[in-house]
């Protein structure tokens, strides 16, 4: 199956921040593993946390998915199209950045959802 990978500018920026922060070799490796896995199995779950956002939540109507690469960091992505599949890598974010931490922050979720929606439009 052909999978085209489209990293957003935000995703690339997030990767650079992780790289510069140092001591994140395991996170970098997990992100590389995720991309490699999705290129071969785009519809399969990468790990137990790889799932769609709740349909009734702020992110649900965007049809986004997330997969944890650490206890707190998740890859936010979308799979679109038939042949080829398009893997849109939108961001690497923490629960706090997404507004899904404890307590949740609905305003943060709305702000991030608007930004992710814009990134989805750019990637089409």
Q: Domain limits of the chain?
A: 3-122
pLDDT tens digits for range 6-42: 999 999 999 888 888 876 888 999 999 999 999 999 9
Kindly provide the b/e burial profile for residues 70-87, where b requires at least 16 CB atoms within 10 angstroms of the residue's own CB. Answer: eeebbbbbbbeeeeebbb
For residue 72, say if its preceding peptide bond is cis, omega within 30 degrees of 0. Answer: no
Q: Do residues 65 and 90 make contact, with C-beta atoms less than 8 angstroms apart?
A: no
SS3 assignment, position 92: strand
pLDDT tens digits for range 35-69: 999 999 999 999 999 999 988 888 988 989 999 99
Query: For residue 38, which of 66, 18, 72 has the smallest C-alpha distance?
Result: 66
Does the domain made of 3-122 have the CATH classification 3.40.718.10? Answer: no
């Amino acid at each position: 199956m052909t999978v085209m990978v489209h990293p957003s500018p935000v995703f690339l920026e997030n990767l650079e921040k992780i790289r510069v922060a140092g001591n994140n070799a395991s996170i970098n490796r997990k992100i590389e593993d995720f991309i490699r896995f999705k290129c071969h199995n785009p519809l399969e779950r990468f790990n137990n946390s790889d799932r769609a956002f709740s349909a009734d939540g702020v992110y649900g109507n965007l049809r986004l998915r997330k997969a944890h690469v650490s206890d707190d960091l998740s890859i936010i992505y979308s799979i679109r199209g038939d042949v080829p599949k398009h893997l849109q890598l939108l961001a690497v974010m923490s629960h706090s950045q997404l507004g899904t931490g404890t307590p949740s922050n609905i305003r943060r979720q709305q702000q991030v959802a608007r930004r992710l929606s814009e990134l989805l439009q750019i990637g089409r």
